[in-house]
A = this chain, B = another copy of it.
Amino acid sequence: MDINQRLLALREVMQREHLSAFIFPSTDAHQSEYVADHWKSREWISGFNGSAGTAVVTMTSAALWTDSRYFLAAEEQLRGTEYQLMKLKIEGTPTIAEWLGQELREVRSPEVGIDGMVCSTSEVEQLVSDLRHQGGITLRTNFDPLQQVWRDRPALPLNKIEVHPLEYAGEGCTQKIARIRRALREKHADGMLVSALDDIAWTLNLRGTDVHCTPVFIAYLLISTTKVTLFTDKRKLSREVEAYLKENNVETDDYTNIKNGLKSYFEENILLDPDETSYVLMKAVTRKVIRESSPIPAMKIVKNDAEVAGYRRAMVRDGVAMVRFLKWLEESLLSPSSLEAPLSELSIDRKLTALRAEQPLYRDLSFDTIAGYEAHGAIVHYEATSETDAEIEPKGLLLLDSGAQYQDGTTDITRTIALGPVTDEQRHVYTLVLKGHIALARAVFPNRTKGTQLDVLARQFLWREGLNYLHGTGHGVGSYLSVHEGPQQIRMEWKPQPLVANMTITNEPGIYLAGRFGVRIENTMIVVPADTSKFFSVDDEAERGSYLQLEPLTLCPIDTTPIVPGMLTDDERKWLNDYHALVYERLAPLLSNEERAWLRGKTSEL
């Protein structure tokens, strides 16, 4: 079935059900960013495979909303379908409700559908309110039309769950549950439902392989004052995991029993995070609901010593793989005849993945590699396919954003690499982006500063020239968990989560010139106490306070060949030289003589 046939089949069901439109968000029953194939309804109905987007289908029209990362990719993927691309945060783009109000203006008492099982309570309630304002459109939430039309829909995965060893987790599951219960008591709650898959994996020190690039497993977790119950398909549990759960007093029940589990929950009240809990489950609860944010993310994002040590080890191995890759790439560009097939975006992706996979404790990629050569580099979340795969020549810029899941840490790194001669414009823009990266990397800030306060540091040099990037500057990175972990972020929008020591955060300014090239330079960083070596000691009460800074975890040379040296200040040059000295010092012991010599050249003082 092609997209138009799928739309035809959907509209037949919609007609039978008297639905004027149906909304397909990109989430699953757990509000995951990356979802199991079973839940890729939006991709199935629209053909757009980006990680974020919402498809809306009426009887006569269809539209897809996505953000700036995916504008170019979505345009390509929607070509030839009846979908209209709706660019989020661009002036003039209607909201979904506004668009439906317009499209359904001739329909009498229109009803719109959304699957309330894969949509959070907050989103559904907002949608109900927004649609009511559009001439009283109503919303139905108890129905998934694709059950009738998506014939070869993948089943929910049955992959085995494994125990995440304490040496990497750093804190036992029993201790974590005790901490969660204390936090619940502070919110006057007797228990909670955990829907977020990474929060479940973190709490229980379990990992899985149900979701692409993310070591989680499909489940719910119900915590009360005396009981902890894991709702998951029991076929996923090995003997070892069963014994581990028993040992930690975690009961199990089947995944499909979660509604019953909520109905028979015996305490006075239950905390449900409306941003995390699906609308259908929120409505299934019979006890008093305490609508508050889950206490788990705030615990999970502050890494313990074992986790930090794990990141540091994983980053060394990831750096070794990156260095071997970069050396191979450089040599391959110089003697293309030595290669079996010409260099292309896909072939270098395969090579890089193979080099990472050689490393101990490697488990998976942490997201699909973005290898964008020249104009493809301007597509923020470009993913090369056999149709788009571009041959790589010894000139211009390659934007390479990649990462891996190692059992002791998750990595996320972007390098933009000059493959040969680059234009003056490329050098100029590359240096602006690097200056922003360094400004954030050098920042010192008071404990509990918000990411929004720091964001301008990475953008200031771009803004001065009328350039900007519409994605965030930084996001948290999980500890052998999701590569995007929150709620800490560094971005233009207000994010109230304060930064404290031992949080991870990426530093990834970029710039994208459509049709020409893209530049992004990203290190994963960790928040550490700053040594504010003052010129003079200050002991005034108002001035006292602890300060933080960002320390790079990522260890990989930053290409110096596209830098315009005169655009860097002495301080910026010093930061880059210091970083390169660190990269060399940490990676050299694991490299061959030849590799070491290569790295020595790449990290030599500017």
| A interface with B by C-beta (< 8 Å) | 68, 71, 90, 378, 425, 428-429, 443-446, 449-450, 452-457, 460, 463-470, 492, 494, 496, 511-515, 530, 532-536, 538, 540-543, 545, 547, 569
Q: How far is the CA of A536 from the CA of B564 in the complex (A)?
A: 15
Q: How far is the CA of A456 from the CA of B444 in the complex (A)?
A: 10
Q: List 28 A-B contacts (CB under 8 A).
A: A68-B542, A425-B535, A425-B536, A428-B536, A443-B460, A444-B460, A444-B463, A444-B464, A446-B463, A450-B494, A452-B453, A453-B453, A453-B492, A457-B460, A465-B532, A465-B534, A465-B535, A466-B545, A467-B532, A467-B538, A467-B543, A468-B542, A468-B545, A469-B542, A494-B496, A511-B543, A512-B540, A515-B540
Give the chain B neighbours of A456 by CB distance below 8 A: 443, 445, 453-454, 456-457
Given A453-B452, A494-B494, A532-B465, residue A542 in contact with residue B569 (CB < 8 A): no
- Output the least CB separation between A470 and chain B (Å): 6
- Output the least CB separation between A539 and chain B (Å): 9
Q: How far is the CA of A541 from the CA of B530 in the complex (A)?
A: 39
Copy count, this protein chain: 2
CB-contact partner of A532 in B429, B446, B449, B464, under 8 A? B464
Q: Name the residue on B nearest A571 (C-beta).
A: B569
Taking a contact as CB atoms under 8 Å apart, the answer to whether B466 and A534 are in contact is yes
Q: How far is the CA of A198 from the CA of B172 in the complex (A)?
A: 60
Given contacts A450-B494, A452-B453, A454-B456, 20 further A-B contacts (CB under 8 A): A68-B542, A429-B536, A443-B460, A443-B463, A444-B460, A444-B464, A449-B492, A453-B456, A456-B456, A465-B534, A465-B535, A466-B530, A466-B538, A467-B534, A468-B543, A468-B545, A494-B494, A511-B543, A513-B538, A513-B540
Give the chain B neighbours of A536 by CB distance below 8 A: 425, 428-429
Q: Name the residue on B nearest A72 (C-beta).
A: B542
Given A453-B453, A540-B512, residue A446 in contact with residue B464 (CB < 8 A): no
Give the chain B neighbours of A428 by CB distance below 8 A: 535-536
- Output the least CB separation between A568 and chain B (Å): 12
Q: How far is the CA of A446 from the CA of B468 in the complex (A)?
A: 8
Q: How far is the CA of A542 from the CA of B467 in the complex (A)?
A: 9
Q: How far is the CA of A452 from the CA of B492 in the complex (A)?
A: 10
Q: How far is the CA of A306 from the CA of B467 in the complex (A)?
A: 32
Taking a contact as CB atoms under 8 Å apart, the answer to whether A532 and B466 are in contact is yes
Q: How far is the CA of A398 from the CA of B470 in the complex (A)?
A: 45
CB-contact partner of A513 in B452, B454, B492, B543, under 8 A? B543
Task: Name which of A429, A466, A470, A513 has the most chain B CB atoms within 10 A of its CB.
Answer: A466
Give the chain B neighbours of A535 by CB distance below 8 A: 425, 428-429, 465
Q: How far is the CA of A533 from the CA of B457 in the complex (A)?
A: 20
Q: How far is the CA of A494 from the CA of B429 in the complex (A)?
A: 31
Q: How far is the CA of A68 from the CA of B545 in the complex (A)?
A: 14
Q: How far is the CA of A496 from the CA of B494 in the complex (A)?
A: 8
Q: How far is the CA of A569 from the CA of B443 in the complex (A)?
A: 17
Taking a contact as CB atoms under 8 Å apart, the answer to whether B540 and A514 are in contact is yes
Q: How far is the CA of A123 from the CA of B547 in the complex (A)?
A: 33
- Output the least CB separation between A544 and chain B (Å): 8
- Output the least CB separation between A88 and chain B (Å): 11
Q: How far is the CA of A428 from the CA of B470 in the complex (A)?
A: 38
Give the chain B neighbours of A538 by CB distance below 8 A: 466-467, 513
Give the chain B neighbours of A511 by CB distance below 8 A: 543
Q: Name the residue on B nearest A516 (C-beta).
A: B540
Give the chain B neighbours of A496 by CB distance below 8 A: 494
Q: How far is the CA of A465 from the CA of B429 in the complex (A)?
A: 31
- Output the least CB separation between A91 and chain B (Å): 9
Give the chain B neighbours of A468 by CB distance below 8 A: 446, 542-543, 545
Give the chain B neighbours of A463 by CB distance below 8 A: 443-446, 532, 547
Q: Name the residue on B nearest A515 (C-beta).
A: B540
Q: How far is the CA of A62 from the CA of B419 in the complex (A)?
A: 72
- Output the least CB separation between A113 and chain B (Å): 30
Taking a contact as CB atoms under 8 Å apart, the answer to whether B543 and A452 are in contact is no
Taking a contact as CB atoms under 8 Å apart, the answer to whether B453 and A455 are in contact is yes
- Output the least CB separation between A76 and chain B (Å): 16
Give the chain B neighbours of A68 by CB distance below 8 A: 542
Q: How far is the CA of A237 from the CA of B512 in the complex (A)?
A: 62
Q: How far is the CA of A229 from the CA of B429 in the complex (A)?
A: 58
Q: Name the residue on B nearest A90 (C-beta).
A: B541
Q: Name the residue on B nearest A439 (C-beta).
A: B460
- Output the least CB separation between A260 and chain B (Å): 36
Q: Name the residue on B nearest A567 (C-beta).
A: B535
Q: Name the residue on B nearest A71 (C-beta).
A: B542
Q: Name the residue on B nearest A432 (C-beta).
A: B535
Q: Name the residue on B nearest A564 (C-beta).
A: B535
Give the chain B neighbours of A443 by CB distance below 8 A: 456, 460, 463
Give the chain B neighbours of A533 by CB distance below 8 A: 465
Q: How far is the CA of A513 from the CA of B535 in the complex (A)?
A: 13
Task: Name which of A378, A467, A469 has the most chain B CB atoms within 10 A of its CB.
Answer: A467
- Output the least CB separation between A415 and chain B (Å): 22
Q: How far is the CA of A90 from the CA of B542 in the complex (A)?
A: 8
Taking a contact as CB atoms under 8 Å apart, the answer to whether A514 and B542 are in contact is yes
Q: How far is the CA of A423 from the CA of B68 in the complex (A)?
A: 52
CB-contact partner of A541 in B425, B446, B450, B514, under 8 A? B514
Q: Name the residue on B nearest A496 (C-beta).
A: B494
Give the chain B neighbours of A530 by CB distance below 8 A: 466
Q: How far is the CA of A447 from the CA of B258 in the complex (A)?
A: 48
Task: Name which of A456, A496, A513, A542 has the most chain B CB atoms within 10 A of its CB.
Answer: A542
Q: How far is the CA of A494 from the CA of B492 in the complex (A)?
A: 12
Q: How far is the CA of A143 from the CA of B514 in the complex (A)?
A: 66
